[in-house]
Amino acid sequence: MQDFSAIINELFRSESRRVLATLIRALGDFNLAEDAMQEAFAAASADWESNGIPDDPVAWLISAGRFRAIDLIRREAQFRELLPGIVSRVEEITSRNMVVAGREIEDDQLRLIFTCCHPAIDPRIQVPLTLREVCGLSTEEIADAFLTAPATMAQRIVRGKAKIRSAGIPYVIPSRDELPDRIDAVLSVIYLVYNEGYSASMGSQLLRVELSSEAIRLGRLLVKLLPDPEVMGLLALMLLHESRRDARVDKTGDIVLLEQQDRSTWNYQFIEEGQRLVQQSLASRRIGAYTLQAAISAVHADATVASETDWHQIVALYDVLFQIDTSPVVELNRAVAVAMRDTPTAGLQLINGILDRGELTDYYLTHSARGELLRRSGDLVGAKVAFERAFELAKQDSERRFLAKRLKSLVNHREERDKN
C-alpha cells in the first residue's frame, strides 16, 4: 500500500516552488497563489488516495490551485471585484494544451526570478524576495545569509511583494535589450540558491540536493536564454562544485575536507562540462567574477591527488578576482591559497589583517581557517582558541561536529606531546 502522505510531502519538497511560480503568473498575486497552492496540496491528499496519483502530478496541482483560488476569492467578499479578471486568466491558461502548459511551467520560475529582480524594486529587496518566493528558503535562512535580523528581512520581503502588485510589474522574461539591467541580480539569486544547497546555512544536513539541483537547472535555462560569458561562468562554477558533492560528506554526514576527499567519486561528467564552459567564457575575454571562481575550481579538478594542486595558479587567479571583487571573503579564500602555496604563517598574516580591520569577525570560516593554519604552524593553544570561536559561530550541525573533532584532536595531540 502506498504511503500517500510521504509521496505528497516529497512532492511538496521538490515541486512546490514550481507550482507556486506558475500560480503567481496565472493569478497575479503572491498571497493568493500561496493560499491556492496550500489548498491544492491538501486536496491532493484526499483525492489521490481515492483516485490514484495522476500521470502529471504537477499539472494536476496547478489546475487544482487555479480553481481553489476562485473558491478563495468567492469566499472573500471584499475581493469579489477581482473575480472576473482572475477567472478570465484561469480560463485562458487552462484552455492551452498540455505540451504548451508543460513548457510554460518549466519557464515560470525563471519568469518569476526576473519579476523579483525588476529595476523598480529596491536592489536590497530583489535577491531576498526571490530566494523566499521562487526557492522557498525560510526568512530565517535568508536573514542569516545577509547577516540581517529575521524581522527586518520579513519586512523587506513584504515590501517587495507590495511593489510588484502596486507597480503592475509583469511576470515575463525581459527582452534581450532589457536583460543587461537585470542579469546581475538574477545570477546572484541563482548562486545564493546553489550555495544554500551546497552548504546549508543551518540545520542537521550540510547538503540540500533539491536546492543545488534547482539552481543548476535554472542556470541551464539561463544559458539557453542568454549565452553570456558570465552566465556560462556561473553554470560552470556550480557544475564544478557539484561534481564533488558525494565526496564532501562521509556515510555519517560529517564533513570531508577537499584535500582528504576520494577523488574517484567526483562526477567527471560535470567536471568536463564545467571546464568546457570555463574555456568558452575565458575565450570571450569578457571575464567576470563567476568565471574566475569557476577557473579556480577547474584547477582543483585538474589535480588527481591533492598534492598535485597548482596553488601558484590558484593564487594568481585570486589576485585577478580580487581586482573585480574586493570582498573580505575573497580575501580570506586567497589567504588560504597563499598558505597552501607558501607557508601557514604567510596565510595567517593575511587572515589576521582581515580580522584587525574588524571584518569577518562573526564569520565562522574565518576562525576555522585561522585555527587550521595555527594548528599546522604548531601553535596548538592559539588553534584551540580559534576553533572554539568558530564552534560558537557555526550554525550547521555537521560544521559543529567537524570543529568539535578538531578541538578533540588538539587535546589528544597536546596530551601525547606532553607525555614525550
CB crowding 296-335: b at 16 or more within 10 Å, else e: bbbbbbeeeeeeebebebbbebbeebbeeeeebebbbbbb
Residue 355 belongs to domain spanning: 324-420
What is the distance between the alpha carbons of residues 389 and 380, in angstroms, rounded to a whole number? 14
User: What is the sign, positive or negative, of the torsion defined by CA atoms of 221, 301, 280, 229?
Assistant: positive
* Beta bridge mates, 319: none
C-alpha cell at 173: 522574461
User: Is 108 contained in some domain?
Assistant: no
C-alpha cell at 249: 560528506
CB crowding 13-44: b at 16 or more within 10 Å, else e: eebbbbbbbbbbbbbbbbebbbbbbebbbebb
List all residues 6 or more positions away from 389 whose beta carbon is below 8 Å from its beta carbon. Answer: 364, 367
Number of domains in the chain: 2
Domain-ending residue, one of 73, 95, 117: 95
Domain-ending residue, one of 79, 95, 111: 95
User: Is 55 contained in some domain?
Assistant: yes
Check: pTM over 0.95? Answer yes or no.
no
User: Is 338 contained in some domain?
Assistant: yes
The one-letter code for the residue type at 52 is G
What is the distance between the alpha carbons of residues 416 and 404, in angstroms, rounded to a whole number? 18
User: Is 60 contained in some domain?
Assistant: yes
Where is 397: in which H helix or E strand?
Answer: helix 397-419
User: Is 238 contained in some domain?
Assistant: no
396 backbone dihedrals φ, ψ, rounded to 5°: -95, 135
What is the distance between the alpha carbons of residues 329 and 278, in angstroms, rounded to a whole number? 22
User: What is the sign, positive or negative, of the torsion defined by CA atoms of 120, 29, 197, 276?
Assistant: negative
Domain-ending residue, one of 95, 110, 127: 95
Residues of the chain under the 50 pLDDT cut: 1, 77-79, 90-91, 93-105, 201-204, 206
Contact between 33 and 27 under an 8 Å Cβ cutoff? The reply is: yes
What is the DSSP secondary-structure string of 321-353?
HHHH---HHHHHHHHHHHHHHS-HHHHHHHHHH
List all residues 6 or more positions away from 310 whose beta carbon is below 8 Å from its beta carbon. Answer: 299, 302, 303
User: Is 157 contained in some domain?
Assistant: no
Cβ atoms within 10 Å, residue 230 = 20
Burial class (CB in 10 A: 0-12, 13-18, 19+), 394: buried
What is the distance between the alpha carbons of residues 204 and 352, in angstroms, rounded to a whole number? 31
| Helix spans in 243-327 (H) | 268-283, 289-302, 311-324
What is the distance between the alpha carbons of residues 239 and 268, in angstroms, rounded to a whole number? 10
Burial class (CB in 10 A: 0-12, 13-18, 19+), 1: exposed
- Residues in the chain, total: 420
What is the distance between the alpha carbons of residues 188 and 231, in angstroms, rounded to a whole number? 11
User: Is 385 contained in some domain?
Assistant: yes
User: Is 318 contained in some domain?
Assistant: no
DSSP helix/strand/coil, 113? helix
| CATH number, position 407 | 1.25.40.10
The model's pLDDT over 344-369, given as tens digits with 9 standing for 90+, comes to 999 999 999 999 999 999 999 999 99
Q: 134 to each of 25, 84, 146, 186, how far by Cα in Å?
A: 12, 27, 17, 11
